[in-house]
Amino acid sequence: MMVLILFVGMLAVLSVAAALELTPDTHRQVSRHGDFRF
C-alpha cells in the first residue's frame, strides 16, 4: 500500500512539474518515463 501511495505522489509531482514548465526540455525529460505525452 505504501508503494502505491509513493507511486501516485511521484506521478503528481511529475504532472505539476510538466504543467509549470511547458518547455521542450521538460517535455523530453518527462516523456522519457514513458507515460506522459503532450
Q: What does the block give as the cell for 34?
A: 514513458
What pLDDT does 34 receive? 57
Dihedral sign for Cα 9, 11, 7, 10, please.
Answer: negative
What pLDDT does 5 receive? 94
Q: Is the pLDDT of residue 36 over 70?
A: no
Measure CA 21 to chain center: 11
Instruction: Determine which helix (DSSP H) or strand (DSSP E) holds 33, and give its type and residue range.
Output: none
Model pTM score: 0.46
What pLDDT does 10 receive? 93
Q: What is the pLDDT of residues 1-35, one digit of tens each?
A: 899 999 999 999 888 877 776 655 555 555 555 55
What pLDDT does 32 receive? 56
What pLDDT does 20 receive? 72
